[in-house]
Structure 1
Amino acid sequence: MKNIAVIGSGTMGNGIAHVFAQNGYQVALIDINKEALSKAMATIEKNLDRQVKKELIDEAKKADTLKNITTYSNMKEGAALADLVVEAATERVDLKLNIFKELDAICGDNTIFASNTSSISITKIASVTNRPEKVIGMHFMNPVPVMKLVEVIRGYSTSDEVTAKVMELSKKLGKIPEEVNDYPGFIANRILMPMINEAIYSLFEGVAGVSEIDSIMKLGMAHPMGPLQLADFIGLDVCLSILNVLQDGLGDPKYRACPLLINMVQAGKLGAKSGEGFYTYGHGTKDLIVADRFKK
Structure 2
Amino acid sequence: MTQATPTLSRARYALGPWARTAGLTVCALLTLGPVAWTVSTSLRTPAESFDLPPQIVPTHPGTAAYHGVFEQIDVWLLALNSTLVTALIAAGQMVTAGLAGYAFARLDFRFKKPLFALVLATMMVPLQVTIVPVFLVLKSMGLTDTLLGLIVPAFPTAFGTFLMRQYFLGMPKDLGEAAMLDGAGPWRIFRSVYAPLARPGLAIVGVLAFNYHWNEFFRPLILETSGRNYTLPLGLVSLQGNLGTGSVSVVLAGVVLSMLPAVAVFVVGQRPLREGITSAGVNR
Task: Please tell me the TM-score bracket, short chain as reference.
Answer: under 0.3
- Between Structure 1 and Structure 2, the one with more strand by share is 1
Higher helix proportion, which one? 2
- Return the TM-score normalized by structure 1: 0.25
Return the index of the structure with the highest Cα Rg: 2
> Under a length normalisation based on structure 2, what TM-score does the superposition of the two structures give?
0.26
